[in-house]
Structure 1
Amino acid sequence: MSLGRYRYLSIGLRASILAIDLCILILLSLSLYTISTSLMDIMSNPNESINVDFGFNDVSREYFMIIRLNVVNNGFVDMNVKFDASIFTPSGVIVRSASNSTILPPRSSKTLSLKFTFSESDILNYGFDVNPPYMNMGLEFRVISNLFGLKIDVGNIRIGGG
Structure 2
Amino acid sequence: MELHAHTHHWVRRSPDWRAAAVAGFAAGAILMVLELFWSASGAGENPWEISHMVAAIVAGPDSLGPSGFELGVMALALVIHYVLGIMFGLILGAVMAPFHLDSSAGLALTIGGVFGLLLYVFNFFGLTALFPWFVELRSGATLVAHLIFGMSAAFLYWKLERDDHSL
Give your verdict on TM over 0.5.
no
Larger helix proportion, structure 1 or 2? Answer: 2
TM-score (norm. length: structure 2): 0.30
TM-score (norm. length: structure 1): 0.31
Larger strand proportion, structure 1 or 2? Answer: 1
Q: Which protein has the larger Cα radius of gyration, Structure 1 or Structure 2? A: 1
Structure with more contact order per residue of length (Cα contacts < 8 Å, sep ≥ 6):
2
